[in-house]
Amino acid sequence: MLTSLLLALTLPSQAGAYYFVDAGTRGMSRGGAYIAGNRDLTAQYYNPAALINLDSGQVMLNFSLVDQRAGFKRMDLDSNGEVVKEYKEVDNIAAPMKIPSFGIAHHFGVPNTMFALGLHPPYAPDKEYKADGPQRYTLIDAKVQQFFVALSAAHQPFEWLTIGAGLLWNVTRADQELALKVCNRDWDDNEAFADASCAHGTREVTDLVIRMEMVDKARINANFGVLIDPTDNLTVGLSVTPPMKVKGKGSLSARFSENHWLVAGEPFPVEILATPEARDDDISVELTMPMVVRGGVAFRPIKNLEIEFATVYERWSQHNEVLISKVRVPLMLGEAVKDLSPGLEPEVPINGPVSLPADYNDTFSYRLGGEWDAKEWLSIRSGVYYEKSAIPTRLQGVGLMDGNKIGYGIGASYHHKDVLSFDLALSQSFLGTRKMRNSELKNLEVPISINDAISEGGISTNIENGSPIANGDLSSTLTMLSAGITYYFGKPTPRTY
């Protein structure tokens, strides 16, 4: 049964390709084109070398709301690809994700150098659907949170060259719930018990709801960056974040509904299981987050205007599996069942490990953004971008929601006496409608034979793949709002040239 439970769990996998645009109020408003021209503390995220652009000590606080509206209309298809059944459309009902970021920087009197400490989460939404919806075998609820605390520094050994690096302390937390079908294969041809059969089972009688929670509290990574200024009005920026292994600890729980045929006492005269719930509080989850390479060219045709073209490469192909191990979830049989067959073991353990393949594609995004200092007290920003999906259509579902997307950002800053800046930004991403007609995501069934269990002295809980569950039309729009404040303090950064 472990295999059936965990092959359905795509929670850590959705962290792959679950990012949208980059972090920070100003970066969002420029469409993520903020790698060479970055001038705030989100340089710790985009390119640590760009910290050299901070003219003095400063403290920054950003707060963002990330909201993804999504609709999925599931369809069942015949062997010719024709629609034989359409389900009612389901929508993502999760509240907007609240994402804060923070940073502080100072030069400490060191010439041509800037140091920074900050917290910067990547942006991603929550997902939640109705527990009885047709998408439930893919996802009911998912929350994925990742952030890093960065200690970074930038140094300018030459007027035309700056190098930077950051030490990143990462925290990853994930929580997912979905349904699995646990049915009775003895009753496929018995109309009286069709609701519990594998062929015709209903949600109330066959569904098992499973939830996995995991957290990796301390995973160390780094990022590296460089700025090159060949002329006064041109800057080239490049940064690299190496791949990172996430190794989380967590729990796995399984909960049968009160009407499930294994616990309801119907149609059997006895309850098969002693309790409708089982839990293991000591599982391990391992996965690989991708290498990310960012590059940008910022051009300043006039004094108060900057235009940047940027691209981001994410190597999702190295996220090749999710390994879940150290699993032992005990299902306890009822006393009456043990009396009927004394040879049965009182506990049916769910054991690991299990490897979940993740067949993702490397992806590029292209961003064009700019900033205009219209007045001493006002800066205006805007940007657009295109990003290619990392998830093939055949693996697409509400739990792995991604697609080729276009988006824009707009924003502005109000500067008060070189002491305070107030930032606002709005960004939207459009994924359009993705038509899945060759889905490889299938309903996972655990066919159980009580007759065999009694005659052979053991319960078999092997997995079988059912019919595809993710064919249909999936559409999505992402909206992000962000506000920030920056306080400037201290003397200007000392220079030796």
Distance CA 102, CA 59 (A): 8
In a domain, 198, yes or no: yes
pLDDT digits (tens, 9 = 90+) for 374-411: 999 999 999 999 998 888 888 888 877 777 889 999 99
Per-residue confidence (pLDDT) for residue 25, from 0 to 100: 95
Distance CA 428, CA 156 (A): 36
CATH number at residue 189: 2.40.160.60
Q: How far is CA 402 from CA 261, 292, 382, in A?
A: 37, 18, 24
Distance CA 64, CA 489 (A): 24
Count of the separate structural domains present in the chain: 1
Structural domain range at position 124:
2-486
| CB distance 487 to 29 below 8 Å | no
In a domain, 150, yes or no: yes
In a domain, 177, yes or no: yes
In the chain, the amino acid numbered 219 is R
Per-residue confidence (pLDDT) for residue 325, from 0 to 100: 57
Per-residue confidence (pLDDT) for residue 225, from 0 to 100: 98
In a domain, 116, yes or no: yes
Distance CA 187, CA 219 (A): 49
For residue 393, the 8-state DSSP code is G
Distance CA 246, CA 157 (A): 35
| pTM of this structure | 0.87
- Mind listing the pLDDT tens digit of every residue in the chain (497 residues)? 443 344 444 443 333 344 555 789 999 999 999 999 999 999 999 999 999 999 899 999 999 999 988 899 999 988 888 899 999 999 999 899 899 999 999 999 999 999 999 998 877 778 889 988 999 988 888 887 888 899 999 999 999 999 999 999 998 888 888 888 888 888 888 888 888 888 888 888 888 888 888 899 889 999 999 999 999 999 999 999 999 888 888 888 888 888 888 887 666 666 677 777 878 888 787 778 889 999 999 999 998 999 999 999 998 887 665 656 555 666 666 665 556 555 556 666 555 555 555 678 888 999 999 999 999 999 999 999 999 888 888 888 887 777 788 999 999 999 998 899 999 999 999 988 888 988 888 877 778 887 776 666 566 666 677 788 889 999 989 899 999 999 999 988 898 88
Neighbours of 273 (CB within 10 A): 17
In a domain, 494, yes or no: no
SS3 12: helix
Per-residue confidence (pLDDT) for residue 7, from 0 to 100: 40
SS3 336: helix
Per-residue confidence (pLDDT) for residue 400, from 0 to 100: 72
Distance CA 396, CA 389 (A): 10
For the chain, give percent helix, strand, coil, nearest 5: 10, 55, 35
In a domain, 112, yes or no: yes
In a domain, 287, yes or no: yes
In a domain, 449, yes or no: yes
Parallel, antiparallel, or unpaired for β 405-416 and 378-387?
A: antiparallel
Q: How far is CA 315 from CA 32, 75, 365, in A?
A: 18, 32, 12
